[in-house]
């Protein structure tokens, strides 16, 4: 049997391992950390459990599909529930409302709390769905880098309908054309941050994202986000996949334009195919540093997505006004993004995302307490003075939350941990600590992202957030599918 070597046990690496095992490959996964999951990991501290990275779970069908593919019932491994309330929004002017899962209810809720008519919300939902219909099969589920894709009728049809996917204006411009109320424009602009982009630059095609959340819904996995990683590792192991932790891959060895070996603990290991789940930038610059002629320099120069600053706070109080997902908007969204993208620092009044998994998973915090995951969007790491930026941001966030919740939050913190662009880069080898690989701030981003296979090295494949189709759990899972389809056909 053929042997597949996978570099990295991020969610895409694990999913690729499962798919290749199902195809009959002997699969071994080499992970630098002592645990699987990469960004999708967890930690506990002083009686609190925190999901370290992702907190919003959408498109659970892509996870289920992996169990079904292996002939298993996903419900024997992994369960989740659909959220009735997707998010609770708070604005600086005191406006507050929930976004219910159903788009008709959402339209009514927005209408009750702003000046926006119900019709404009529904019109936007229809528009978002249209973009999804056109882009889904072509831009997400297939490789854009195979001739075969272009020979399919629906690809050609999508390409001819490019105008309809609204790629010629920015997301912000499009949202302004739908909505009169600035608070509603801000709410819809925020979806650009779901892949680390800037709504004032990114093409309006990203308006597809609200459809994914509002139509397919948002979910909470039993046991928290990390149970996605755990259940998939369990499945992979049952399929015979071998995981080697504490095993950073040092080099990929190429002979005659074919990837032949990986070097781990100074030992050469041979494989028929090699799949890198390591960020594509580091895969070339570190693992393929001996072969500069093979580097796709132009592709590697693309702008990176934004990063994040997270405070994990154990809070000795419970707040009825808060839900699982909460947003506290900034008063000036354009200024906030100018700071992230042009000044490359942190605006004094950032939009704060507060996630509290203990609202659903009560065991995540001690009795009477809550586990707060407090996140703001920040620029990718380019050597800023992070210690100073973080200290200032903490002060501003505490002030903002204390004002909104009318409570001195600092006094309630019993334990704290921090994640910033430097530690994200260090723990998961993400170039510049970007959360989602390259940004989508450019209308051609979908075409410029690195392919799921190397153009110059045979047998070398790529999965994960830094390559096609992009970052976020659902897209990372799709990258695994594209790799395994490609491997199967070659
Ligand atoms: P990664 O998670 O980046 O993992 C790569 C793995 O490869 C790591 O384990 C690393 O140690 C390993 N590795 C790297 N180099 C080597 C080497 N040389 N040898 C061996 N191993 C190596 N997505 C969502 O869908 N919803 C969200 O709400 C969300 N929020 C996020 C919040 C934060 C704070 C972060 C950080 C990310 C968030 N994301 C979210 C994005 C999501 O986490 C990522 O897109 C996804 O988890 C990336 O998976 P990946 O497979 O690309 O690999």
Residues 165 and 183 in one domain: yes
Is residue 396 one of the residues assigned to a domain? no
Residues 245 and 290 in one domain: yes
Residues 208 and 235 in one domain: no
What pTM was estimated for this model as a whole? 0.96
Mutate to test the pocket of ligand 1, among 15, 18, 39 (most ligand atoms within 8 A of CB): 39
Per-residue confidence in pLDDT tens, the chain, 490 aa: 999 999 999 999 999 999 999 999 999 999 999 999 999 999 999 999 999 999 999 999 999 999 999 999 999 999 999 999 999 999 999 999 999 999 999 999 999 999 999 999 999 999 999 999 888 876 777 666 776 776 676 666 666 666 778 888 999 999 999 999 999 999 999 999 999 999 999 999 999 999 999 999 999 999 999 999 999 999 999 999 999 999 999 999 999 999 999 999 999 999 999 999 999 999 999 999 999 999 999 999 999 999 999 999 999 999 999 999 999 999 999 999 999 999 999 999 999 999 999 999 999 999 999 999 999 999 999 999 999 999 999 999 999 999 999 999 999 999 999 999 999 999 999 999 999 999 999 888 877 899 999 999 999 999 999 999 999 999 999 999 999 999 976 5
Is residue 94 one of the residues assigned to a domain? no
Using CA atoms, how far apart are residues 233 and 239, in angstroms rounded to an integer?
10
> Which of 188, 214, 240 is the endpoint of a domain?
214
Kindly give the number of the ligand 1 atom that is closest to the alpha carbon of 308: 34
DSSP collapsed to 3 states, 276-342: ECCCHHHHHHHHCCCCHHHCCHHHHCCCECCEEEEEEEEECCCCCCCCCEEEECCCCHHHHHHHHHH
Residues 140 and 194 in one domain: yes
Domain coverage including residue 244: 3-44+54-80+223-302+439-489
Q: How many domains does the chain have?
A: 2
Residues 131 and 196 in one domain: yes
Question: What is this model's ipTM?
Answer: 0.99
CATH of the domain at 76: 3.50.50.60
Residues 190 and 240 in one domain: no
Is residue 113 one of the residues assigned to a domain? no
392 neighbors 346 (Cβ within 8 angstroms): yes
6 neighbors 271 (Cβ within 8 angstroms): no
CB of 29 closer than 6 angstroms to any ligand 1 atom? no
Residues 148 and 186 in one domain: yes
Is residue 334 one of the residues assigned to a domain? no
Locate 406 and state its tokens. 């009318």
**Which among 420, 385, 425 has a CA at the least distance from the CA of 285?**
425
Is residue 89 one of the residues assigned to a domain? no
CB of 471 closer than 6 angstroms to any ligand 1 atom? yes
CB of 278 closer than 6 angstroms to any ligand 1 atom? yes
Is residue 389 one of the residues assigned to a domain? no
64 neighbors 52 (Cβ within 8 angstroms): no
Rg (CA), the chain: 22
Strand ranges in 176-257 using DSSP code E only, listed in sequence order:
218-221, 242-244, 249-255
> Which of 214, 245, 265 is the endpoint of a domain?
214
Residue nearest to atom 11 of ligand 1 (CA): 428
SS3 419: strand
Name the helix (H) or strand (E) containing 13: helix 11-22
167 neighbors 208 (Cβ within 8 angstroms): no
Burial class (CB in 10 A: 0-12, 13-18, 19+), 294: middle
Residue nearest to atom 22 of ligand 1 (CA): 8
> Which of 176, 191, 214 is the endpoint of a domain?
214
Kindly give the number of the ligand 1 atom that is closest to the alpha carbon of 419: 34
Using CA atoms, how far apart are residues 167 and 179, in angstroms rounded to an integer?
19
Question: Rounded to whole angstroms, what are the CA distances from 487 to 21, 153, 398, 447, 481?
Answer: 12, 23, 50, 21, 10
Is residue 426 one of the residues assigned to a domain? no
Going from the Cα of 107 to the center of ligand 1, the distance in angstroms, rounded, reads 34
CB of 195 closer than 6 angstroms to any ligand 1 atom? no
219 neighbors 80 (Cβ within 8 angstroms): yes
Residues 136 and 202 in one domain: yes
Residues 252 and 294 in one domain: yes
Instruction: Lay out the sheet containing 218-221: strands in order across.
Output: 57-58, 218-221, 80-82
Going from the Cα of 425 to the center of ligand 1, the distance in angstroms, rounded, reads 10
CB of 10 closer than 6 angstroms to any ligand 1 atom? yes
Is residue 414 one of the residues assigned to a domain? no
Residue nearest to atom 38 of ligand 1 (CA): 54
Residues 184 and 252 in one domain: no
Residues 203 and 127 in one domain: yes
Residues 10 and 29 in one domain: yes
């Amino acid at each position: 049997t053929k042997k597949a070597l996978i570099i990295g046990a991020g969610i895409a690496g694990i999913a690729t391992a499962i798919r290749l095992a199902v195809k009959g490959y002997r699969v071994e996964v080499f992970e630098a950390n002592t645990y699987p999951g990469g960004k999708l990991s967890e930690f506990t501290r002083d009686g609190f459990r925190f999901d370290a990275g992702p907190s919003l779970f959408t498109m659970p069908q892509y996870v289920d599909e992996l169990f079904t593919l292996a002939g298993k019932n996903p419900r024997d491994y992994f369960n989740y529930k659909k959220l009735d309330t997707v998010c609770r929004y708070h604005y600086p002017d005191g406006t507050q409302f929930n976004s219910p899962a159903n788009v008709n209810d959402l339209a009514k809720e927005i209408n009750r709390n702003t000046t926006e008519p119900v019709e404009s919300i529904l019109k936007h939902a229809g528009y978002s769905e249209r973009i999804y219909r056109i882009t889904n099969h072509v831009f997400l589920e297939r490789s854009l880098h195979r001739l075969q894709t272009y020979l399919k009728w629906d690809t050609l049809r999508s390409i001819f309908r490019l105008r309809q996917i609204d790629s010629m204006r920015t997301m912000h411009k499009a949202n302004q054309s739908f909505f009169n109320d600035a608070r509603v424009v801000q709410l819809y602009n925020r979806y650009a941050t779901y892949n680390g982009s800037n709504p004032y630059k990114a093409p309006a095609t990203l308006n597809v994202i609200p459809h994914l959340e509002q139509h397919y819904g948002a979910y909470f996995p039993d046991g928290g986000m990390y149970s996605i990683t755990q259940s998939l590792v369990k499945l992979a192991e049952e399929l015979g996949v071998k995981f080697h932790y504490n095993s950073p891959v040092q080099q990929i060895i190429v002979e005659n334009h074919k990837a032949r070996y990986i070097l781990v603990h100074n030992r050469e290991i041979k494989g028929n195919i090699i799949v890198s789940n390591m960020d594509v930038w580091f895969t070339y610059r570190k693992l393929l540093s001996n072969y500069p002629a093979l580097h796709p320099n132009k592709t590697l120069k693309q702008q990176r997505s934004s990063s994040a600053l997270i405070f994990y706070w154990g809070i000795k109080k419970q707040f009825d006004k808060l839900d699982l997902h909460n947003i506290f908007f900034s008063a000036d969204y354009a200024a906030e993004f100018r700071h992230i993208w042009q000044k490359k620092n942190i605006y004094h009044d950032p939009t704060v995302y507060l996630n509290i998994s203990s609202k659903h998973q009560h065991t995540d915090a001690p009795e009477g307490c809550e586990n707060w995951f407090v996140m703001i969007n920040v620029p990718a790491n380019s050597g800023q003075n992070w210690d100073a930026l973080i200290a200032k941001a903490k002060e501003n966030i505490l002030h903002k939350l204390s004002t909104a919740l009318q409570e001195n939050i600092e006094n309630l913190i019993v334990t704290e941990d921090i994640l910033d662009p430097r530690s994200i880069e260090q723990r998961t080898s993400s170039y510049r600590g970007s959360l989602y690989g390259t940004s989508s701030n450019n209308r051609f981003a979908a075409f410029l992202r690195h392919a799921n296979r190397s153009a110059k090295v045979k047998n070398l494949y790529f999965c994960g957030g830094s390559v096609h189709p992009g970052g976020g759990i659902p897209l990372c899972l799709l990258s695994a599918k594209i790799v395994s389809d490609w491997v199967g056909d070659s």
